[in-house]
Amino acid sequence: MLKTSFLGDISLNNKYNNYYINGLKPFSDIRKYLLQSDFVIGNLECISIGNNGENLLKKPRLNTENKTLNYLKDINITTVSLAHNHIYDNLENGFNKTIEKLKELNLDYLGAGYTKEEANKPLILEKNSIKVAYLNYVTEDTNPNLPKEAKIYLNFFYMNKIRQNIKDIKKEVDYVVCLLHWGGRVEKGVYPDFDQPRMAYDIIDAGADLIIGHHSHTLQPFEIYKGKYIFYSLGNFCFDDIVSDGKIFEVDNNNGCKSIIVNVEFSKEKYTISIQHIKNKNLFISLDNRKEIKQKYDRQNKIFSIIKNKKLLWKLYWIKHKHYNPIKFYFFGNNKNPLVELQKLKFKKIIGYILKKMKGKI
């Protein structure tokens, strides 16, 4: 048997730096649980602060102090995926420092590198004679915005390449797992984009055994296709508000703090799945075994099973996600006072937004 735990988006940014300096242990409650797994894999979305500036093509930008990455050992992380849209936020120097730190911590990584071949290289993890291959891709709609002169490479999502990669590695291992950073149009959405299920089915049909998704920063549904699990997004394992370009990009204390750990037990014959909900209180992560949390996730999955094949229903969700939810969050999210937020509005910008929309530019 080989047990692997999959975590959502990991960003040790902002207040996590202060926590580390002050010797706080925000993962002490979850550490013992994760120590039960042979491998723990998460999407490391924060890159070390570099010495040569930031990628101004990317907004907002994420960063962390290099030493704060030591927290990864507190989480018992063994492997991180790097094919994501923040990989070059702190330019080449930030990437270099991150890779050096991962090597210092003796952590495996995949999905990005100094050559296309390195970025595309699968990672094989083995224990008890069970071999699992990992492939990591990022879709272009998540907007990594690497400048042309960038000297690092991301493993971009192209279906033909994925099919070939799976075919090439399948004969060497017992299982193939795809780690996907995808769904750029539905970032912060609670359901995947309309085309994502079809993409996932194609990947399973090509020979993948399991799909683990990231990027939306929200917990999205999962489904089983031909006996194989597809998790569209695990949500934020740990993530603080982003401070970038003099602005604060808030994490939604509701949807942005819901996440699960997906535990997979691989045997030679099959794999089994268990799901553990977690909670985030002041950036301290712990297990969440409340019955109502599991019930809400069950309802979310049932709704998804209805709308995923109904374009009109999905379109109604999309309109709500794209236009209603941002306004609601601006005025009421994270216990805001709507009257205070109203006073902050710049009406010229609002009028400009409406005019552009009427002209079909948005």
Question: What is the per-residue pLDDT for 361?
Answer: 45
Give residue 348's pLDDT. Answer: 59
53 in the same domain as 115: yes
Same domain, 230 and 271: yes
User: Are 230 and 318 part of one and the same domain?
Assistant: no
- 105 and 20, same structural domain? yes
Q: What is the pLDDT of residues 135-150, one digit of tens each?
A: 999 999 999 999 999 9
117 and 263 co-located in one domain: yes
Domain that holds residue 356: 311-362
341 and 269, same domain (yes or no) = no
Identify whether residues 82 and 176 lie together within a single domain.
yes
Q: How confident is the model at residue 362 (pLDDT cuts 50, 70, 90)?
A: very low
The CATH number of the domain holding residue 129 is 3.60.21.10
Q: Which residue has the tokens 């042309």?
A: 148
Strand runs labelled E in 209-254:
210-214, 222-225, 228-231, 236-238, 242-244, 247-249
Are 111 and 208 in a shared domain? yes
DSSP state of 156: B
How many angstroms separate the CA atoms of 29 and 9, rounded?
18
Domain shared by 137 and 215, yes or no: yes
Predicted TM-score (pTM) of the model is: 0.94
Provide the number of structural domains found in the chain. Answer: 2
Report the percent of the chain where pLDDT is more than 70.
Answer: 95
Q: Are residues 83 and 121 in the same domain?
A: yes
Give 251: exposed, middle or buried? Use CB within 10 Å, 0-12, 13-18, 19+. Answer: buried
Q: What is the pLDDT of residue 340?
A: 79
